Structure 1
Amino acid sequence: MNVSLQREKQDDAGEATAVADACFARFIDVQKSYDGVELVVKGFNLDVRRGEFVTLLGPSGSGKTTCLMMMAGFETPTHGQILLQGEPIDDLPPHKRGIGMVFQNYALFPHMSVAENLAFPLQVRHLPKEEIKRQVARALAMVRLDDFGDRRPAQLSGGQQQRVALARALVFEPELVLMDEPLGALDKNLREEMQYEIKRIHAELGVTMIYVTHDQTEALTMSDRIAVFNDGVVQQLASPETLYEAPENAFVANFIGENNRLHGEVIESIGDRCEVRLDSGETVAARPVAAGGIGARTTLSLRPERVGIVGEGDEAAFDNRFQAEVREVIYLGDHLRTRLEVCGNDEFIIKTPNAKGFPSLRPGQTVEVGWSSRDCRALDA
């Protein structure tokens, strides 16, 4: 064999081994069908690094919870393989996988006290009584419920019950914790509080977490990386910042954060700039991301905070400028939300931060708005 070719193959094998060693949990070409015909998960591949917080995000029915249940052992893949620490676990029953699990409905035993709920996973593992007592106390302290061990779940608030459910998933010190919409039953303030609580615990313990939610704010707040699901397929896997700032397709752009969309046809494309003729007739300069060639239909994606009103000091960067009519102005404290009609779109939103006060706007007023082509992404139609 040619020496350079042999060395190249050895390097590739070494790189593959290094990747496998770095991955704590792996989904390899996993598919799932419940009826033998329709796939709810289609060719799912994901490598989760040790200590990472990965969120599976998507609308209801997109396949994210099914993937979590397959990792937990409650569902079996129709095709593909799931590895944990490099070993296949498809034939292992759930209780032998050593995985902590947190459900949306808490799944606490109502007839047991908080301490007894936490002790249960340790008792089935036949730990000594003193060790159980020590680990229960440690878990209660971790979720800041030191004085609640003697209470029953019914005596706790929703947020406290969710803390107990989290503590129970962590009490036996698993290396992997799965969470299925764990904050879905909480009100807004409690949800936000628990997001930061889970993030704090993850940082303190360094445990690997896979989290399922349909709430984009949760995903952006808590995750190292996010896999965005739609119709059983991962649309994009990236950091929260990358998903928001650089969505690869129109679904991700629309699902992550608020997004202005304009539809049209590519009429020119050179390098990192293209020209799009909108359905309303105007021409917009944009950054071609997934727009196709000349003549292709495209959706322009533009974040509301990247649009400004000409005359407010930011127009130097605006190579796109259009007349707009103000339809609605809403004061939200930290920013002003303005809905306008722009280029035939009467649901076009601008968010103006409350840094130096707000521009004086009123419904019916005509203004000029603008944005940079660098902030306008030409995506699939």
Structure 2
Amino acid sequence: MLTQDSASETAFVRFHQVQKTYDGKTLVVQDLNLSVREHEFLTMLGPSGSGKTTCLMMLAGFETATSGEILLAGKAINRIPPERRDIGMVFQNYALFPHMSIRENLEFPLAVRKVPHAERKRKIDAALAMVNMSGLGARMPGQLSGGQQQRIAVARALVFAPRLVLMDEPLGALDKQLREQMQYEIKRIHKESGITFVYVTHDQGEALTMSDRIAVFNQGVIQQLATPKELYERPQNAFVAQFIGENNSLHGRVLTVQGDTCQIRMRSGETVSATSPRGLQVGSETTISLRPERVQIGDASASVNNRFHGIVKNSVYHGDHLRIVVDICGQPNFVIKVPNARISAPPEIGSAISTGWQTEDCLALN
């Protein structure tokens, strides 16, 4: 599957038919066509070994494309060394110089680029202020927390005003609470700086929180390129549906297709009304994607299009919601998420409950 942005001719970053192999046989990246818009925050998301980090390293210049072309601001950069690409880089392990103070770490990329001494102080002060670290310039990296070191790593990538900033799993070493805090901080910095960001992660929640658009990778191929909302609510295939957030998959055969809706006969015999993608054929096998929070239970399920009875197998309290697992429509591990404000008591294990969902909330996949 090739992914090509319709505005590729005006793209700020463009991968054109890029391939990468390390052994001459297996393609780690296959026929990649991808455009990144200027000023946007684009995330490359996928499991380990999906090719996302390899793509970032080729863009940075640390890996060489086997074939194809990579362009930055309309200029091919395949043969330009990393230090001449005008790209800032943030790594997971911070990569700060431990023997240099924070100010000296930030001054290093400016000195390499021969920025005048009088201008360096101003740029360093501005970079420290942007990451809320003013006043800590005299400290050594070892005197800072992990979150503070990551802020300095971001400041160092921004201090010389690059055209593009690349981030490779930058929050992976932080604990959950700090990681979530840094997600919002990096997004704020992106908006304030106006610089184009390309970000790599395997964390779906991180990608949904931070990105303008997300490219979902699997086995060296982009499965879908879209906004977070579109990816979550309208996945193009079963891989994207399962990889982005929690998802229920129901399997069946297409009975009818009328406009943008279809009827699906489940393997267990029930019929489900679902939203139909283009090209869905009567008689074909399909997988229905349905998010757990879209499912209604009890009285709330009486007014929806698809109504069924299920047997409760498990119920777990998650603070803001209750996660209920039921056996329904031939799916023994069907998940329902119900806000705690909508339910007075969890259903008993083994009890029967009424459930349902709207046609527009479930999507049949080609």
Into which bin does the TM-score normalised by the smaller protein fall?
over 0.9
Alpha-carbon distance, 1:268 to partner: 2.4
Q: 1:103 and 2:88 equivalent?
A: no
Paired amino acid for 2:313: R
Is residue 336–residue 358 contact of structure 1 (8 Å, CA) maintained in 2? Answer: no
How much does 1:156 deviate?
1.1
Match of 1:246 among 234, 241, 251: 234
Q: Deviations over 1:309-365 (max 9, x none)?
A: 141x3532x221111011122222222211111112121111112344445512111
Could you tell me whether the CA contact under 8 Å between 2:315 and 2:346 is conserved in 1? no
Shift of 1:290: 6.7
Which residue of structure 2 aligns with residue 325 of structure 1?
A: 311
From 75, 80, 97, the counterpart of 1:92: 80
Q: Distance in 1 between matches of 2:109 and 2:205?
A: 32
Cα shift readout 1:290-323 (whole Å, capped 9, x = no counterpart): 7742332211110111111141x3532x221111
Q: Aligned residues, how many? A: 361
- Does 2:125 match 1:160? no
Partner of 1:288: 276
- Pick closer, same or farther for the CA change 1:100–1:162 going to 2, 3 Å: same
Q: What corresponds to 2:128 in structure 1?
A: 140
Counterparts in 2 of 1:1-381, with a 5 A limit? Answer: 20-21=9-10, 23-289=11-277, 292-311=280-299, 313-316=300-303, 318-358=304-344, 360-380=346-366
* Equivalent position amino acid for 1:162 in 2: Q
Give the aligned partner of residue 3 of structure 2: none
Write the letter of the residue equivalent to 1:133: K
Per the TM alignment, residue 270 of structure 1 is displaced from its structure 2 partner at its CA by: 2.6
**TM-score with structure 1 setting the length:** 0.91
Letter in 2 for 1:76: T
Deviates more, 1:138-147 or 1:221-230: 138-147
Deviation at 1:241, TM superposition (A): 0.6
Paired residue secondary structure (1:275): strand
Normalising to structure 2: TM-score of the pair?
0.95
Cα displacement (A) at 1:147: 2.0
Q: Following the alignment from structure 1 to structure 2, what is the Cα–Cα distance between the partners of residues 237 and 140? A: 34
Counterpart Cα distance in 2 of 1:293 and 1:332: 40
The runs of 5 or more residues in structure 2 that have no matched partner are: 1-5
Where 1:179 maps in the other structure, the secondary structure is strand
SS in 1 for 2:135: helix
Q: Is the 8 A contact 1:300 1:378 kept in 2?
A: yes
Using the TM superposition, name which of 346-355 and 204-213 deviates more. Answer: 346-355
In structure 2, distance between residues paired with 1:189 and 1:360:
28
Identity level (%): 61
Displacement after TM superposition at 1:20 (Å)? 2.5
> Post-superposition shift, 1:163?
0.6
Q: Kindly tell me: are residues 32 and 290 of structure 1, through their superposed partners in 2, closer, same or farther at Cα, counting changes over 3 Å?
A: farther
Task: State which drifts further: 339-348 or 80-89.
Answer: 339-348
The offset of 1:265, in angstroms, is 1.7
Which segment drifts farther, 370-379 or 94-103?
370-379
Matches of 1:205 and 1:178, distance apart in 2:
14
Offset from partner CA, 1:15-44 (integer Å, 9 cap, x none): x9x8533x2111111111111111111111
SS at match of 1:322: strand
The answer (yes or no) to whether the contact 1:291–1:297 under 8 Å persists in 2 is no
